[in-house]
Chains A and B, each alone.
Chain A
Amino acid sequence: MSAFSAIGEDVERDRNEYTPGLEPQPTWCPGCGDFGVLKALKGAAAELGLSPEEMLVCTGIGCSGKLNSYFDSYGFHTIHGRSLPIARAAKLANPGLTVVAAGGDGDGYGIGGNHFMHTARENHDITYIVFNNEIFGLTKGQTSPTSPKGHKSKTQPHGSAKDPIRPLSMSLNAGASYIARTAAVNPNQAKEIIVEAIEHDGFSHVDFLTQCPTWNKDAKQYVPYIDVNDSEDYEFDNTDRSEASEMMFETENALHEGTVLTGRYYVDDRPSYQQEKQRIGEIPDEPLAERYFDDDYEWERVYDSFLDKHK
C-alpha cells in the first residue's frame, strides 16, 4: 500500500464533501464575493472527483486567505504573500498532490508580487486563484494594487496617483501557461474555469473578480459580465500569444470603464517546470515524499559517493 493512498482515488464526489461540518462557519461579510470562490472550488473539486486528502490548498493572509478554513482538504494557511513558494515546493515534493494556491489581490499582486512573477515564469504545475476585489479587505479598506487610479481610501485620502496593475498582462509576460479571469457573479463559468485550471499541466492563473460590499461599493464586479469566449464580438484564438495579449489589454481597460469581460485568455501547452526539471535530471522520477515511507528504498550513504574527492 502506498503511503499516500488518498492520491489518485477515482470516485464520484459531492461538493458537500469539502464542507468541514458545522465548524467553522465562514466569517465573510454577507454578500462577499469570496463565497463565490469557495462554491466554485467545491464544485470543481467534486467534478474532478478529487479526494479532499489528495488536495493541498495553500492560502495567504486576508479575508481571501480564509478559503482553506472553509474548504475541507489538507490546507496551509501561510503568511501574507507567501502562499506560492510554499505551494510550489509541496508540489515538487509530492507531484501526486493537487495543489491550489489562493489569496487576495494585495496578497498576490502586492506583497507577493515577486513570487507571483517567478512562479509564473517557472510554470509550476499549480493553480493560483487571486480574489480580485480591488481593495484590502481584512485590514479594512485600504487601496490595493488593483484599485483604479483616483481611488480614495483612508491611506490614500487624495485618491491613488497610481495606475492599477494589469494582472492578466502581467501574468502573460511573466510566463503563466493558463490565464483566465472569472467572476463570483457567474458561478457556472467560475467552476468550469477552475476545473480547467486544475487539469492544466503548468501554472494556471485565475484572476477571480470578487466583490467586497463592505469596503468597495464602487467596484465594477457587480456589473453583468460578458464571457469573451462565448461572445460573437470577441473572436480570438487564446492559444495565440499576441491575440491573447491584445484581448487582455482590452479587458483590463474595459474593467475600469465599467464593462466586465471574463473568460480564458491564454492557454499554452509548453512543458511544466516539473517536466523540464525531470528532463535535465534534477528531479526524481518517483515522488520524493514517498521515499520516507518506503522500507525498500535504499538510502545512499554520502561516504561512498562524495568523500573520495576530499582524500
Chain B
Amino acid sequence: MTDDELIWRIAGGSGDGIASTSQNFAKALMRAGLHVFTHRHYPSRIRGGHTYTEVRVSEDPVKSRGDGYNFLLALGDSFARNPQENAYYGNEEVKPLSENLDELNEGGVIVYDSGLLDTEDIPDFDERVADNGWHVYDIDLRTIAREHGREVMRNTAGVAVTCAIANIEPRVIKSLMEDTMPEKVFEPNMSVFDDAYETVQEEFDADAPDISVPEGDHDEDQVLISGSDSIAYGALDEGCRFIAGYPMTPWTEVFTIMSQNLPEVGGISEQVEDEIAAAALALGASHAGVKAMSGSSGGGFALMSEPLGLAEMTETPVVLVEAMRAGPSTGMPTKPEQADLEHVLYTSQGDSHRVVFAPAGAEEAYRQTRRAFQIAYEYQIPAIVLYDQKNGGELQNVPASVFDEEPNPDLGSVVTEAELADAPHDPSGKYNRFQHDVDDGVSPRSIPGQEGGRYLATGNEHMPAGHISEDPDNRVNQVDRRMEKMEAIRADLDADEGTNAHHGPEDAEYGIMTFGSQQGTVEEAVDELNEQGHSVKSLGVSELAPYPVEEVSAFIESVDEVLVVEMNASAQFRGLTQKELGRYGEKLSSLLKYNGNPFEPGEIVDGFVTSIVEDGTLPGHETKFVPAASD
C-alpha cells in the first residue's frame, strides 16, 4: 500500500446500510477521478452481526482490496441493541470497533460512534491505540443524526467525518447524494452532513493524521460495477433472453440483475422450484431457439449435474453460471472459496464435456460471459462461467467503453428452413441433426417449428436423426464427434488474444499462477515482489476447459519455479494443471488459503519470499504452503 492511498473500512451491523453507504462513497470518489475497489465482508444472517465494507481509493489503478486498511468508521450495530439479555441477537454492539482492530495499519484513523459504542468495553484499547499510533475520533454520530433527521442517518454523519479528516471535498459526496436521494430525505441528510463535518473542524485537529485522499483524473467515463453485474450484462449483450433460477448465495446476484432487466428487453425470467428444474428450463428454451442461461452456487449446481449431461448428449447449447462459496455442503454461505473447480469440471456421468471460463474481475467477466455464449451456441455444448463470492460482490471502476459493444443475436450453428430443404434427411423424413462427418464435430441444429427439421433430441445414445441406438459403430462415431468439438474450441480460443492474463517482466526467474478472482491480488503481489528486487511474473488462467495447454506450458518452461495460488485446501487448480500438462509436478508449489477470506497481496508476497526464496515456514495458519512434488 502506498502512503497516499485511502483504504476506508465502514463497519456496523448487517441491515444498517453499510453496503449502500460504501457503494455511494466509492461512486462519489470514482466520479471525482479516482480508482476504487471495494471488498465486502458479511455474516450469514439477515440483520445484525458484524459486517464491513472496505473502499480502497487511489490515484492509480487498483486490482485488490490491498493490505490491511487505514481508516475505520465504526458505527453501532443497531440490531445488537437488545434490551433483553441473552436475547437472540445478544450484545455484540461493540463488535464494529473491537473486531476490526487487528487489521488496522499503524498510524491509522479510528472514528467511532460514541453515542453507541464505549471503548471501556474493549480490553487494552488505549494501550493498543498508543502502541500503533492510531488517531481516535469519538463522535456522537447517533445524536447528530437524531437532531437533524433520523438515527439511520448516522451513516451520513460518518461519511461527513471521513471527508473532514481525509480532506475530501464535501461537494463530491453531496452531489452524488443529491442524485440518488429523494428530496425529502436529501435535505435532512445534508444537515446531518454539515453538522458532523463542522464538529470535526471545531472540536478536533483534523490535520493530525497523515491521511488524505489523493486527487485523480480519468481519461474516460467510468462505471462502478461488480462481477455479477458484468456477467449479467455480458449475457444480455450476447442476446440471452431467457433465464431460470433458484436463489442461492452468491449466485442470487446474477439471477436478480437478470430478472430485473430481462423484461425490459423483452426477455423472460423464471424463478422455479429447484435447480434441476432451473437448468432443465434453460435447456428447453434453448432447444426451442432462444439463448438461455441458468446457474447456481455449489449445492445448487450439484443438482444441475443431470441436465448438464443432457445438454452435452443432446448438444443443446446453454450457459450455466457457478458462483463458488466455501463448502462442502452448504459450507459458509457468505464466504468466498475456489473449491468447486473440480466439481464444475467433472460433474455428470460418462465422457461428458463442457467449456469452463473463470473470469478474474468485472471487465473479464463481461467479455468471457459473452465468449461463453458464443462458444456454447457455435459448438452446441454447455459452457460454464465459474466465479466466486469475492468477484461477484466486489465493485470496481471500469471504463464505460468496455461495455460499448454491439449486441450479438447470432444463434450459432443452426439451419434455416431454406437450408433444411437441401440438408440430409433419413429415410423416415427426419433431419439428420447429429451427422457423423462434419467440420469441427459441429452438426447444425434445427429449431422446433421449422419445416423439414424434425428430429429427436435424446439423452440416450442416438443415430444421426436422433433414434436411440446402441450400435457400436455409431456409438464410436458420435462420441468421437462430440469430443472433437473440444479440440476445435481450443483452437478457436487460442486465436483470442489476452484471455489469460500475463503480468510482470517476461524474462522473470519465478512464476506465480492463479485462476479467477485471485488474479488481481496476485498481480499486485508480483509488482511488490519486483519492487523488492525479486524477479517474478504471473499468469492468471481464465480458460479452464479446454485447458490452454500450450500457453501454460510455455509459461512454466520459461521460469525456474512456479507458485500456484488458490483459495482452497486441496490445490485443485494445481492438480488440474499437472493433469492437463502431464508433467511439471517438480516445478509447482502451492500457496493455499481457505479460511473464508480472500488473499491480500502481502500474504502472497510473504508466502513467496518465505517459502520459495528462503525455504522457510509460514507463520500462522491463514495460508498454507504445499511444496513441489520432488521436495
Alpha-carbon distance A6/B451, docked complex (angstroms): 5
Tell whether A89 pairs with B270 under 8 Å between CB atoms, given A72-B428, A97-B449: yes
Contact of A114 among B236, B274, B411 (CB under 8 A): B274
Q: Provide the residues of chain B in CB contact with A297, threshold 8 Å.
A: 409
Residue of B nearest to A6 (CB): B451
Interface residues of A in 254-303 (CB under 8 A from B): 277, 281-284, 288-289, 291-293, 297, 299-303
User: What is the minimal beta-carbon distance from B421 to any residue of chain A, in angstroms?
Assistant: 11
Q: Which residue of B lies closest to A273 (CB)?
A: B270
Closest to B411 in A: A292
Query: Are B310 and A79 within 8 A (Cβ)?
Result: yes
Residues in chain B near residue A66, CB distance under 8 A: 468
Bound state CA distance, A297 and B454, in angstroms? 26
Residue pair B454, A305 in contact (C-beta under 8 Å): no
Tell whether A89 pairs with B239 under 8 Å between CB atoms, given A53-B448, A69-B456, A94-B288: no
- Compute how far the CA of A85 lies from the CA of B410 in the bound complex, rounded to whole angstroms: 25
Residue B223, interface by CB 8 Å: yes
Nearest residue (CB) in A for B410 is: A292
Interface 9-residue window, one of B139-147, B279-287, B480-488: B279-287
CA distance A86 to B280 in the complex (A): 5
Please name all residues of chain A whose beta carbon is closer than 8 Å to the beta carbon of B448 when the two chains form the complex: 4, 53-54, 56, 74, 90, 94, 97
**Chain B CB within 8 A of A12 CB:** no
Task: Let me know if B447 is at the binding interface, CB within 8 A.
Answer: yes
Name the residue in A93, A283, A311 with the highest tally of chain B Cβ atoms < 10 Å from its Cβ: A93
25 pairs from A and B in contact (CB 8 Å cutoff): A3-B417, A4-B451, A5-B417, A20-B467, A58-B284, A69-B468, A74-B454, A76-B458, A77-B457, A79-B306, A79-B307, A85-B281, A89-B281, A89-B285, A90-B288, A92-B270, A94-B288, A94-B289, A94-B449, A97-B449, A292-B409, A302-B407, A305-B264, A306-B261, A310-B223
* Closest-CB distance, B491 to chain A (whole angstroms): 26
Instruction: With A77-B458, A79-B310, A118-B273 as known contacts, state yes or no: A89 contacts B244, CB within 8 Å.
Output: yes
In the complex, the chain B residue whose C-beta lies closest to that of A5 is B451
Chain B contacts to A: CB under 8 angstroms: 31, 221-225, 229, 233, 236-237, 239, 241-242, 244, 261, 263-270, 272-274, 276-278, 280-285, 287-292, 306-307, 309-310, 314, 400, 403-411, 416-417, 427-430, 447-460, 466-468
What 1/0 mask marks residues of chain A from 114 to 128 whose CB sits below 8 Å from any chain B CB?
A: 110110000000000
Docked-complex contact B404 and A281, CB < 8 angstroms: no
Assess the A90–B284 pair: CB atoms within 8 A.
yes
Q: A283-B268, A303-B404 are in contact. Are A1 and B242 (CB under 8 A)?
A: no
B-binding residues in A (CB < 8 A)? 1, 3-7, 20-24, 51-54, 56, 58, 61, 66, 68-69, 72-79, 82, 85-94, 96-97, 114-115, 117-118, 277, 281-284, 288-289, 291-293, 297, 299-303, 305-307, 310-311
Contact of A89 with B280 in the complex, beta carbons under 8 Å? yes
In the assembled complex, the CB of B449 is this many whole angstroms from the nearest CB of chain A, namely 3
Task: Please report the number of residue pairs spanning A and B whose Cβ atoms sit closer than 8 angstroms.
Answer: 235
In the bound complex, residues from chain A placing their C-beta under 8 Å from that of B263 are 281-282
Partner of B449, one of A6, A284, A299: A6
In the assembly, what is the distance between CA of A79 and CA of B306, in Å? 8
B427, A21: Cβ atoms under 8 Å?
yes
Across the interface, name the chain B residue whose C-beta is closest to A19. B428
Contact, CB under 8 Å: B452 / A307 = no
Given contacts A3-B450, A94-B289, contact A21 B284 (CB under 8 A): no
Is the Cβ of A282 less than 8 Å from the Cβ of B451?
A: no
Q: Contact: A291 with B280, CB < 8 Å?
A: no
- The residues of B that contact A306 with a CB separation of less than 8 Å are 233, 236, 261
Do the beta carbons of B449 and A89 come within 8 Å of each other? no
A288 to B411, CA, bound (A): 12
Using CB atoms, name the residue of chain B closest to A293.
B416
Q: Is the CB of B236 within 8 A of A289?
A: no
Instruction: Given A78-B459, A282-B268, answer yes or no on A6-B450 (Cβ-Cβ < 8 Å).
Output: yes
CA of A71 to CA of B267 in the docked complex: distance in angstroms? 32
Which residues of A sit under 8 angstroms from B236, Cβ to Cβ? 302, 306
* Chain B residues closer than 8 Å to A75, beta-carbon distance: 454-458, 466
